[in-house]
Amino acid sequence: MYPVIARRSRGLSVGINLNPDTTCNFNCVYCQVDRGQPRREGDVNPDALAEELDRMLSWVVDRSIFTHPHFAHVPDELKRVNDIAFSGDGEPTACAVFPQSVRIAARLKAKWSLHDVKLVLITNGSYLPEPSVAAALDVLMENNGEIWAKIDAGTEEHFRAVNRAKVSLQDVLDSITSTARKYPVVIQSLWMRLHDERPAEAQVHAFADRLRDIVRAGGRIASVQVYTIARKPTEPHVTPLTGADLEWVASVVRDRAKLEAVTY
C-alpha cells in the first residue's frame, strides 16, 4: 500500500501493489524495476491487504494523512483523494488474488462512503479477456472504475524494443479492443528518447493508427495520456522527452486518431 500525489490523478492516489514479487510479462526499458534480479518471494495476503487498506482509508477520511511530513508541502488544491489504484512492481492482473482484491477495495470504499473516489486499474492489457479478470472488471466498473491500458508502440518492432514482452503487440491490441467494446478505456502511452534519439515520426503515426483501429473495431477510448519518464529507469540509455516533443506526439494522436490526448 502506498499513497502518492500523482500527476495524472491531480490529487492523492492510494496505490495497491499486487506484485511485490515483481511478476510481469513485460520488461519495459523505462521501468524502475530491474527484472534482471532474482524475483522476491511472497504472495499477497488478502486479509493483510484489507487491513492495510482499511487503515489507509481511515487516514484519508479524517484527513490525517495530509499531516504526514511527506505531504506537508502539497498545495491545497491537490489535497483531495482521487483514486484507489491497482499499480505496482508488475502487472496487477497477473496476480492470482486480483479479483478478490478488487472486491475488497470496492467494499472498503463503500464502508468509508468514498463514492466519488475512483477504482483504477493500471495495466498492460494483456490479461484483460481472462474470465476471472473480466469478472473483476465488472466489479471495478460498477464501483466508479477506470481501466488505464498501456500502449507504447504502433509496430511490433518498436513494441519489442520498448516493452520486451512475452506476448505480441497484436495480442495486446486485440485484448484491449475486446475490453473497450464493453467499457471505455483510457490509453496510457509513455514516450522517451532511446540512445538520445526521439521517436521516429513513422512510429508515432503507427501508434495513432493502432488507436484508430481500436475505435473502428468498436472499442471506446475515453482519452489518451501521453507522458514521459518521471523516475530514473534501470536502463541508462532511456531519457525523457521534452514538453514540446510530448505535445507533438499528442497532436499526432488528435489529428490521425481524432481522440482526446493530454500530456503529462
Q: Do 254 and 175 sit in the same domain of this protein?
A: yes
What's the pLDDT score for residue 53? 98
Q: Do 139 and 9 sit in the same domain of this protein?
A: yes
Q: Do 141 and 104 sit in the same domain of this protein?
A: yes
Percent of the chain with pLDDT over 90: 84
| Residue 108 backbone dihedrals phi, psi, to 5 degrees | -75, -30
Q: Do 29 and 78 sit in the same domain of this protein?
A: yes
- pLDDT beyond 80 at 40: no
Q: Do 156 and 250 sit in the same domain of this protein?
A: yes
Domain boundary among 120, 146, 172: 146
Q: Do 79 and 137 sit in the same domain of this protein?
A: yes
In this prediction, residues 123-147 reach a mean pLDDT of: 98
Instruction: State which residues form the domain around 230.
Output: 151-264
Q: Say how many domains are in the chain.
A: 2
What's the pLDDT score for residue 64? 93
- pLDDT beyond 80 at 221: yes
- pLDDT beyond 80 at 36: no
Q: Do 1 and 34 sit in the same domain of this protein?
A: yes
Domain boundary among 94, 125, 146: 146
What's the pLDDT score for residue 157? 96
Q: Do 3 and 110 sit in the same domain of this protein?
A: yes
What's the pLDDT score for residue 10? 82
Domain boundary among 115, 146, 177: 146
Q: Do 241 and 125 sit in the same domain of this protein?
A: no
Q: Do 215 and 141 sit in the same domain of this protein?
A: no
Q: Per-residue pLDDT tens for 165-191?
A: 999 999 999 999 999 999 999 999 999
The answer to whether the beta carbons of residues 118 and 82 sit under 8 Å apart is yes
Pick from 213, 224, 136: nearest CA to 177 = 213
Q: Per-residue pLDDT tens for 51-93?
A: 999 999 999 999 999 999 988 888 988 998 999 999 999 999 9
What's the pLDDT score for residue 129? 96
Q: What CATH number should be reported for the domain holding residue 117?
A: 3.20.20.70
Which carries the bigger pLDDT value, residue 254 or residue 2?
254
pTM beyond cutoff 0.85: yes
Strands 221-227 and 261-263: parallel
Q: Do 138 and 223 sit in the same domain of this protein?
A: no
CA–CA dist 212, 208 (Å, integer)? 6
Q: Do 139 and 47 sit in the same domain of this protein?
A: yes
